[in-house]
Each structure stands twice: as structure tokens, then as C-alpha cells.
Amino acid sequence: MAKKNDGYLSAAESRRISRENRRITDQLEKKRKRKNVPESEYLTQMRDPENAVEFDDLHTYFFTDAGTVKSVDGVSFDVPIGKTVGVVGESGCGKSVTSLSLMQLLQRPQGQIISGSIRLNMGNGKAYEISNVPQEKMQKLRGNMISMIFQEPMTSLNPVFRIGAQIDEVIALHDGEGKSKEEIKKRSIEALDMVGIANSEGVYNMFPHELSGGMRQRVMIAMALVCSPRIIIADEPTTALDVTIQAQILDLLRNLKDKINSSIMLITHDLGVIAEMADYVVVMYAGRVIEKGTAEEIFAHPAHPYTIGLMASKPVVGRKVDKLYSIPGKVPNPINMPDYCYFRDRCEMKLPCCDGEYPCMISLSPTHKVSCYRFYEEHLKEAEAVDMPEEIREQLRASAQIAAETEK
Amino acid sequence: MADNTITKGNYEPVVYDDQYILMVNGLKKYFPIKGGLLNRVVGHVKAVDGVTFNLKRGTTMGLVGESGCGKTTTGRTILRLAGEKTDGQVLFNGKEVYDLSPREMRDMRTKMQIIFQDPFSSLSPRLPVGEIIGEAVREHNLVPKAEFDDYIDQVMDKCGLQPFHKDRYPHEFSGGQRQRICIARALALNPEFVVCDEPVSALDVSIQAQIINLLNDLQEQFKLTYLFISHDLSVVEHISDTIGVMYLGDLVEYGSKEDIFRNPLHPYTQALFSAIPIPDPTAKMNRIVLEGSIPSPANPPTGCKFHTRCRMCTQKCKEVTPVQREVEPGHFVVCHNYDRQ
């Protein structure tokens, strides 16, 4: 028994799981591989036509031989048109999987969208349900509608092809119908110009290794933006870069977004970058959204204990602390998620009621939502009595007060 | 055409001062570039090009700069891990590190240790954790055989590892735990001086805080001296007492943390600090955006190396190499703008 808790699986057990997995994934794959799916099957309505993407109770699971990993377990948030939404969280919290679900780039057949929906606004009143879109149609959406800037420019560029060929390929695949090679080349060079590469014709004929890290990231951005997508997913676009280069790249992203009027979904773990870029912030923990709101709300009045802990654990230039706050414990095992609040075991402000089932989202203001029992009206009093660091208590009080005011 | 002659001895020898554990004077480390028909040396990558600073006992010096500016090479050259130095002095407790015999150097190694950046590639996957931490202790005969196991348990406990972790292998640990193993490995030898080469860059924010707190606690407990290399300025500000800013192999500014953050003097430092993202969406800042990218260290610009990107560049900067001068007590800068004072 003790071994079982350690994540130990017998061979027979493992075989049983993988047979079961095969059964589930085969079914889903069969559905996906059908040909000539009528458009009506994936046509849907946006809840709000002002949104570019709506994630609604998305569940993305990975069926591994050790058990089912619920990487994304009920995520809902919106990306409004022309805005930047920042998604923050520790590694493994499901932020990348959320974006890969939107691109349909999950590692299949293990990774599958199980339930929930991702609605993509196609403009003129049309909307697609991404989880039902067949593969050949998805090919058309990627690049034109949604595109992605990957984290590591070193590994995401192909070292054996010239920069030009790699950008040309994007145009030819997604938007190349009826275009001659010269036209495509011209467009590639324009894209390189757009991202601020001075010697664009020269760079067109270079190999990735001839460029610096910042230049490579610019090429990646050029590749992602060359077909003017409506949604740009930037997955940790500056993590591998130096601060001075990071500043350049963030400036560039912001300007380009306005130029082609698209939305950005910015995935990062750097709260500084989020504060600078994002209009809305979504905080994820262990596959769920625990708090969301506008950037001002989240940074001025973080409500969820995890968000507060995350902010306190990052040193800030000009703010002096003797000891950094560190969140105790670690993320629960994704295969065996508890049935209570996932953060309870690490939470220093837990209440008796936290033993109950996973808390629902509660609104602190029309835009600011948090999933924590502390802000349920019937528990507000109890929450005051718990022992905790004074500065955190102040943060919580302020948030609770705002909640109470909006209630009235 | 790159110049492949090396000027040596271009520094004033320093006199050992007891309060400093480490004195680095005019340190240079060039890597040869070979090429041509006979595979001769055709040039040098000037990774570290005249770095001078002193480090007080029990304090932390932060070394910041862009990637490729020579921070890591500086750290490794001080520890004599990068082959022979090209020029300059490294005095550790008053002894020139590069003059020690192999035998003396071996003993010295227990006093100076390093924690590497990437905890995923710096631990041998084939050794259990107890062996990783204890290997060097046994090699150096630091503790009697009978006490060996207890000693390793103690060290692991101090670094926040459980004794039962001893028989596990590195792949069974998370990033933060692996970094603790790296720290335990360095501290098992009872060092006086530890080079921390980007110890938290590969970790998550909440884990970063744990490791930084651990490093701070250990410093207090064992009176350690750190050379903390990082490109994350907020972490450096938190942990350091003095800060050195490097650009293209030069230490362009050096001083106490308060001086550097309150009053950055070098234009590069100013640009670097203005680029730090602040986690407050209401904050508006005047960002100094540096144009272009860092020049090649094989063929650095003449005069001041920063003049190609500097917004205060004058004719003099392009021709004359600036020297380090003390603008305020303990605050050094390498820039012509401060010549007049």
C-alpha cells in the first residue's frame, strides 16, 4: 500500500490503464479523422461578439500509462478583440496546454480535449468551435487566424534552412494561393522589415545560427505575424532573452498588435512582463483558473492566496524585504488531484470550510473573479480570525472590502 | 583584421588587504580563435578584458550584464576552472590562485566552490544523491570514515533535503530540489567563497524565493562570501551588498547596491535598469531603449566599448579607452563622462 502512494504501478495495472486509454483515445481520434465534415457541425455563436476567443470550461487531459493527467481542468476566460490577456502560473499549471488546445497542437493521441469549448471569432458574425474543427480546416486557421510565438527561438527555427525559406513556407502554406515566388519573397522581406530587422534582404539569406538571440526572436515574431493573424499566442516570448532585448521585443509586440489590430494571449511566469503588457490577467494553478481580472485589479488587490504568495515571492527593484515570502509545499500530483481546493495544503490562510469541495468562482467586481472560500459572504468573518502574516492580511482585507462594496 | 597580439602587465599590482577575501586586479581571459591554413591563432575572443574588484569577507557581490558579456567566464577564471588566465591577478586570501602548485590548488578547491546554472545538466544522472554530495568530501578526507554518513545527513538537512533522499537519483527530483542538491554539494566542503552562476534562472518564481532564502540563511550560518552571477536584476538587488555591471568583458560600473541602484552612473547601467519590468501596471517609466545588439567580443569597438550604443557618445569615447575611476567613495565607473570631476 505504501508503494502505491509513491506512484508505483504494477505491470498489470499499467497494462490495464493503457488499454483503457487506447479505447478512449481511439474513439476521439476516429471522430477527428473523418473527412468532409459539414461546416454546420463546428459553427457556433460567440457569447459576446467583442471577444476574439472564448474558453468555456475547457478540459484537456493527457492519457498516460501512469494515469490520466488533467492538465487543464475547467478553464474559462475570454480574450477580447484588440486586447492583451496575460496568463500566469508556475510551470506545469496548464498554461501552455491551454494555448496548444487552441491551436490543436496537442500531442495526440494522448492529449485530448475532453469537454468544454473554445470558440474562435471568425468575424462577420461567424464563430468556430475549435474542438470540433477537422484537421484540414484547422490548417487554414493556423497562421491566418491564430499563430504562435514559441519560447525558444534557438530550437524552434530549423537550423538547416535559410530564414527566408522558413518564412516563405508559412506564407505558401497558409496564404499562398495564386501567389508567385517573387510575391511571397517580397512579403517575407516586408515582414522582416516590420519587426525591425535593418538588413532584411541580407537576413533573408542567412541561417539561424548567424543571428543573435534577439534577432532570432524577431524572426519568430515575423513568422507568426506574416499572415496578420487575429490572435497571437506568445508563449514565454522573452524568457530566454536579456532584459534590454526583452524591452525591445515587448515594445515591438505592443506596436505590431496595434498595427494589425489583433489580440495577444501572453503566457509567462514573469509578473513584471504581465504588468507591462497585459490588459487582463488570468492566474492559473494546477490546471484551473484561480483568479482573473483586469491588470489593475490583480496587481492592486490580489485576492487568491496563491496570487498574493506569487507576488510576494518575487523580489522587486526598489522594494526592500529581509526575507522573501515562499509558498510552502508543492503542487499536488496531477494524476491524483484532491477533491478539495487544490491549494488548500499549501495555503497559510485556510479556513475550516476549505475542506469542502473545490470552490466556485466568486465575483469581487464585474471583471475580477476569484475561486476561494474566503470571499464567500458566510465565511468573511471566519477569515478575519485566522493567523497569518500582517501584510497578507491587509491585502485580503482590501480585496474583501471591494467585494462587499460592489455587492451593495 | 582582428589584432592578435596580447598586451600584458597593464595593471598596478595590488597589495593584499586583510578585509578582502578576494582581490581581482586587471583580470583578462582571452580565448584564441584558430583558423587559416596552418591552424594558427588569428584572433582572440576577449571574454574578460581587465576586470578589477575587491570582495569583502562575508558579503555578496552581484555580477550583472547581458548574455555573452563575460560574467560566467569571470567566475570560472577566478576559480581557475577556465585554463590559464591571460593576464591580471586573482588573490584569494592573499595568495595568487594561479601561482599555486597542483597540490596546493587541490586544497584550495575546498575553500572555493561553484553552484552552476542548470540543475538538470550539472548533476550526474548515474550517481545517487548521497554520492554526489559526498564524493568530494571523501576525496579530500574532510571527515573521518566513521562520521561520514552523519556528516552528509547534516549537510543535506541544512539544505532542506531529507536523509532518505540520499539513495535516490537526480531524475527523481524537481528543479528546486536539484538546485538544493547542487548547493549541498558545494557546501559539503565547508567553503569560504562560493560562485553562484545563475542559480535561480532555471527555476519557477516560488521556488526561486525558497532557494534565495536558503542561500541567505546559509550565508549567515557559515559566514560565506558569494559572487552571485545573474541577469535578473531584481534578484541581484535582493541578495547583493555590492554590484558589478559588465559589458563586453569590461566591468563598467562597480559599487555598493545602494549607490548603484540609487544613482547609476554609466549610461549602460542606466539603460539596463530602465529596462527592468516593474510588476505594477500603473507605473509609467522612461525607458532608455538600447539600439542594436552587443558587438562581437572578438573584435570589440575601439575606445569605450559601449560607444556604438551609447546615447552620450562623444568623439573622445570613440578614440580613448576610459579607465576606472572612483566617482564617490566605493563607487567606480569606467566612462569618459565622469573625467571632468
Q: In the 8-state DSSP scheme, what is residue A359?
A: P
**How many residue pairs from chains A and B have C-beta atoms closer than 8 A?**
115
Question: Considering the domain boundaries, does residue A371 fall inside one?
Answer: yes
Instruction: Please report the pLDDT score of residue A3 as a whole number.
Output: 43
Which helix (H) or strand (E) segment holds residue A75: the answer is: strand A67-80
Question: Considering the domain boundaries, does residue A401 fall inside one?
Answer: yes
Q: Are the C-beta atoms of B87 and B28 separated by less than 8 Å? A: yes
Question: Considering the domain boundaries, does residue A79 fall inside one?
Answer: no
Highest mean pLDDT among A200-204, A208-212, A359-363, B241-245: B241-245
**Complex confidence, ipTM:** 0.79
Nearest to B229 by CA among B63, B87, B33, B24: B63
* Chain B residues close to A214, C-beta within 8 Å: 293
Summarize pLDDT for B186-222 with one digit per residue, the tens.
999 999 999 999 888 878 888 888 889 999 999 999 9
pLDDT above 90 for A265: yes
Least confident range of A314-323, A387-396, B42-51: A387-396
pLDDT band at B1 (very low <50, low <70, confident <90, very high): very low
Q: Return d(Cα A166, Cα A176) in angstroms, integer.
A: 14
State whether residue A284 sits within 8 Å of chain B by CB: no
Percent of chain A with pLDDT over 70: 91
Beta-carbon separation of B204 and A212 below 8 A: no
pLDDT above 60 for B279: yes
Q: What share of chain B is helix, strand, coil (3-state, %, to 5)?
A: 35, 25, 45
- Copy the grid coordinates of residue A381: 468573518
What distances in angstroms separate CA A383 from CA A302, A313, A341, A374, one per listed residue?
A: 16, 22, 16, 6
Region A355-379 average pLDDT: 83
State whether residue B279 sits within 8 Å of chain A by CB: yes
Summarize pLDDT for A35-75 with one digit per residue, the tens.
888 888 888 888 888 899 999 999 999 988 888 888 898 89
Cα maximum dimension of chain A: 71
Q: Return d(Cα B341, Cα B333) in angstroms, integer.
A: 12
Instruction: List the Cα angle A251/B282/B286 in 5-degree steps.
Output: 50
Q: At what angle do helices A243-260 and B267-274 cross, to 10 degrees?
A: 50
User: What is the residue range of A329's domain?
Assistant: 300-407
- Comparing CB atoms, the residue among B212, B233, B275 nearest residue A324 is B212
Mutate to test the interface with B, among A236, A239, A244 (most CBs of B within 10 A): A244
Beta-carbon separation of B278 and A274 below 8 A: no
Beta-carbon separation of B277 and A245 below 8 A: no
Region A10-26 average pLDDT: 88
Q: Return d(Cα B62, Cα B341) in angstroms, integer.
A: 27
State whether residue B212 sits within 8 Å of chain A by CB: yes
Question: Considering the domain boundaries, does residue A320 fall inside one?
Answer: yes
Residue A91: closest C-alpha in chain B: B204
Encode burial over A36-75: b for 16+ CB neighbours within 10 A, e otherwise. Answer: ebeeeebebebeeeebbbbbbebbbbbbeeebbbbbbbbb
Mutate to test the interface with B, among A243, A252, A280, A310 (most CBs of B within 10 A): A243
Summarize pLDDT for A191-239 with one digit per residue, the tens.
898 888 888 889 999 999 888 888 888 898 889 888 888 899 998 888 7
Question: Considering the domain boundaries, does residue A29 fall inside one?
Answer: no
Summarize pLDDT for B20-65 with one digit per residue, the tens.
999 999 899 998 888 878 888 888 888 898 899 999 999 999 999 8
Beta-carbon separation of A248 and B277 below 8 A: no
The answer to whether the bond into A109 is cis (omega within 30° of 0) is: yes
Percent of chain B with pLDDT over 90: 38
Beta-carbon separation of A315 and B271 below 8 A: no
State whether residue A313 sits within 8 Å of chain B by CB: yes
What 3-state DSSP class applies to A258?
Answer: helix
Question: Considering the domain boundaries, does residue A136 fall inside one?
Answer: no
- Whole-angstrom distance between the N-terminal and C-terminal Cα of chain B? 36
Count of domains in chain A?
1
pLDDT above 50 for A24: yes
Question: Considering the domain boundaries, does residue A222 fall inside one?
Answer: no
- Copy the grid coordinates of residue A247: 524591452
Instruction: Please report the pLDDT score of residue B2 as a whole number.
Output: 47
CB within 8 Å of B291: residues ≥ 6 apart = B309
Q: Return d(Cα A260, Cα A226) in angstroms, integer.
A: 10
State whether residue B222 sits within 8 Å of chain A by CB: no
Instruction: Please report the pLDDT score of residue A4 as a whole number.
Output: 45
Q: Return d(Cα A180, Cα A173) in angstroms, integer.
A: 13
- Comparing CB atoms, the residue among A213, A315, A323 nearest residue B234 is A315
| Residue numbers of B between 280 and 319 with CB closer than 8 Å to A | 280-283, 287, 289-290, 293-294
Q: Are the C-beta atoms of B186 and B179 separated by less than 8 Å? A: no
Q: Name the β-bridge partners of A283.
A: A88, A291
Beta-carbon separation of B238 and A315 below 8 A: yes
Mutate to test the interface with B, among A324, A325, A333, A346 (most CBs of B within 10 A): A324
* Chain A residues close to B274, C-beta within 8 Å: 247
Q: Return d(Cα B210, Cα B180) in angstroms, integer.
A: 10
Question: Considering the domain boundaries, does residue A314 fall inside one?
Answer: yes
Summarize pLDDT for A166-194 with one digit per residue, the tens.
999 989 888 777 888 999 999 999 889 88
Beta-carbon separation of B277 and A90 below 8 A: no
